[in-house]
Structure 1
Amino acid sequence: MPNHYYLIIPASGVGTRMHSEKDGLDWQAKIPKQYLKLDNRLTILDQTLKTLLSIDQIKGYVIAIAKEDRLFAKSTFNNHPKLLTTVIGGKERMNSVINALKELINFAKNDDWILVHDSARPCVKTSEIINLMNQLKYHATGGLLATKVVDTIKQANNNIVNTTIDRSNLWQAQTPQMYRFGILLKAFNTAIKDGINTTDEASAIEHLGLESILVKSSRSNIKITNPEDLALANFYLTRYQKTFNPRH
């Protein structure tokens, strides 16, 4: 029997680094960054969901939103047939993912796949997500999209360089990160029990002592964190549109 794929979107963050005045623009609109509008008039979150939910293999999704969130109700994806349920996000990303995983107990089997994707990564390519699925479909645990580090990395103390880090084996983690449901749930439960705050799914898997496979992705799969990232995301999305619609 084939394994199913389910999607989790942690979207309960506020995005405080976006909420500062820059270049004369008012970034203090008190709108969480995932609800800021792109040039294509979609919010960052809706663009992200549009890409992920267009993939036939994804059977359903759970989104974690803030308790006070009133904006997701206005999204067209609030009524999407693949929406299984919404959950209240936790204090940390891992808490939001755990809350979503607990809801998926009603849907997913232990060997099914869970993709966790940042709500603020709207430029991910469907082709790279499908490649991730294909590369990992026979793996016992899972893995993630990532890019090789190309810049020289310095380790510093109070802005004074201590040493240069060898970058030859360094990768920059992206999302989606995709793992077997049973293993991912066990990894997070173990991290919670051990008092470990993991910043992504791969970290929880590492703490459990299991391996993750790195699947090479594009550097354009950026996470919108600062105001200037929004302009870069608009550039990438416009370029994708021209690539697939050359007459426009």
Structure 2
Amino acid sequence: MESTKIDVVLPAAGVGKRMHLNIPKQYAILGDKTVLELTVEAVFKCPLVNNIIIGISREDEYFNDLPLADNPRIIKANGGKERSDTVRLCLEHVVTPWVMVHDAARPFVHVDDLNSLCSKVGSSEVGAILACRSSDTLKQVVNGKIIKTVPRESIFRAYTPQLFKTDILKKALNHAVESNISITDDASAVELLGYSVDIVEGRADNIKLTTPEDLAMARRLLED
């Protein structure tokens, strides 16, 4: 594996409305730590990680009270209105040629997957994302009616982290803003520039905590 160090961006400026909590979901407690703390710990297990840049809301009332706020390898950055805005602002603090972007609410990413993704630095021209092969039969639906069964053999669920050359990701996100195009993940912005992004098949338990049901599942995973 190439020894290039990689900065990591964690956008954590959202409020997670679908979680129905009275605090942002990244500060929900799992065990004896917040989701954000668990995510940071998981990412730092990868030996190639340099610094972690965390983008938080200007109205955030929780981050500074966490022990990780005093970690010299943690850089606090201002977040933006949308996730992509937060990533763009955080990229200004990135000093490495390659960068990984990871969801703050994915605390179960495994070090083996992180290492596999980082290994793409030596072989990819653009970048790669963690992804999971779909195990479900997929239906295309219009007006509540199935119109097509989509073959699942070529369908993957996009996970994070997503790894890119830093200059390409900056260019891609700026292009999306200038073109007034809403993006669903960083890879989709890079794809808009005509690049092909590699995938690294990862573990299915790298779940993103979005709903109360996800939080309940996360607590069960911690108990296992």
TM-score (normalised: structure 1): 0.85
1:160 aligns with: 145
Letter aligned with residue 158 of structure 1: N
* Contact 1:53/1:82, CA 8 A, preserved across alignment: no
Please state whether the residue corresponding to 2:115 is helix, strand or coil: helix
Residue aligning to 1:13: 14
Aligned mate of 2:156, from 132, 155, 171 = 171
1:191-242 C-alpha deviation (Å, 9 max, x unpaired): 1121112111110110011111110111100001111111211222333xxx
1:143·1:214 contact (CA, 8 Å) conserved in 2? Answer: yes
The 2-side partners of 1:64 and 1:75 are apart by 15
Please give the alpha-carbon distance, in whole angstroms, between the structure 1 residues aligned to 2:101 and 2:72.
19
Deviation at 1:2, TM superposition (A): 5.4
Counterpart Cα distance in 1 of 2:207 and 2:47: 23
Residues 1:33 and 2:18 are matched in the alignment: no
State the Cα deviation string for residues 41-76 of structure 1 (Å, max 9, x = none). Answer: 111111000111232211112111111101011111
Q: CA contact under 8 A between 1:10 and 1:89: conserved in structure 2?
A: yes
1: distance between equivalents of 2:187 and 2:207? 18
Q: Is the 8 A contact 1:123 1:237 kept in 2?
A: no
Correspondence for 1:88 among 78, 86, 106: 78
Is the radius of gyration larger for structure 1 or structure 2? Answer: 1
Give the letter aligned to residue 182 of structure 2.
N
Greater Cα shift, 149-158 or 40-49: 149-158
Structure 2 stretches lacking a partner, 5+ long: none
RMSD after superposition: 1.5
1:43 paired to 2:63? no
| 1:92 positional shift | 1.2
Q: Pick the aligned partner of 1:188 from 156, 173, 191.
A: 173
Candidates 55, 61, 66, aligned match of 2:46: 55
> Aligned residues: percent identity?
36
**CA deviation string 1:98-136 (max 9, x = no partner):** 0001232xx23xxx2101000100111111101111244
Give the Cα separation in 1 of the matches to 2:53 and 2:120: 24
Normalising by structure 2, report the TM-score. Answer: 0.94
Q: Give CA deviations for 1:144-196 in whole Å, capped at 9, x if unaligned.
A: 10001111111222322222222221110000000011111111111112111
8 Å CA contact 2:11–2:104 kept in 1: the answer is yes
Query: How many equivalent pairs are there?
Result: 223
Q: Measure, in 2, the Cα distance between the counterparts of 1:78 and 1:70.
A: 12
Structure 1 gaps of 5+ residues are 20-26, 240-248
